[in-house]
Amino acid sequence: MEPLQRLTRRQLEALRVIAARSDGGRGIPLNAIAAGLGVRPPSALAHLGPLEELGLIRRFRGKSFATPKGRLCLSEYLRHHRVAESLFARAGLSARATHAAALEVDMALSHRTVQQICEAEGHPSVCPHGNPISPCSPAGEGHR
């Protein structure tokens, strides 16, 4: 299974908070992660072990850092979410409804399925909200 498929929504949110605040090599302390998630530190702490085991973050001297693998996982997540939104938009859902619908599936889809949907949708460059969709694959197939 791909890392994204193994995460809970809360773990993904924790990864997002850590990545946003650990840019430039500066780590983020536990209390700041907890504040970013709106939970108590022990609840935030429970998310860090699984993220570290998957190699998405590393921890050093009480601070957490997003790894390149963690940042890649977040960009893959956005791609899954926005491709799913595009699919639901073409199925006739309003732009607002596509967001909620995409949240129901975006973490469960495999990259392969997202790629197939993206191809079937003609490789949309933006989601229904105008946010950019990154190209399908680095291997040359996909967006032209």
Nearer CB in complex with Zn ion: 18/136: 136
The answer to whether residue 10 forms part of the interface with Zn ion (CB under 5 A) is no
129 binds Zn ion (CB under 5 A): yes
Q: Using the minimum distance from each CB to Zn ion, give the nearer residue, 18 or 118.
A: 118
- In sequence order, which ranges of the chain are alpha helices (DSSP H)? 3-6, 9-21, 30-37, 41-53, 68-90, 95-105, 111-120
Helix (H, G, I), strand (E, B) or coil at 105: helix
- Rule CB under 5 A: is residue 41 a binding residue for Zn ion? no
Task: Compute the least distance from the CB of residue 65 to Zn ion, in Å.
Answer: 28
**Residue 51: CB partners within 8 Å, gap ≥ 6?**
7, 11, 14, 15, 18, 57, 70
* Inter-residue contact 100 to 93 (CB < 8 Å): no
Which residue number, 58 or 123, has a Cβ lying nearer to Zn ion? Answer: 123
Residue 69 in the binding site for Zn ion (CB under 5 A):
no
Within residues 79-118, the interface with Zn ion by CB under 5 A covers 85, 118
Closest to Zn ion by CB, 45 vs 101, is 101
Amino acid at 65: F
Classify 91 as helix, strand or coil: coil
Nearest distance from residue 97's CB to Zn ion, in Å? Answer: 11
The footprint of Zn ion (CB under 5 A) covers: 85, 118, 123, 127, 129, 131, 136, 142
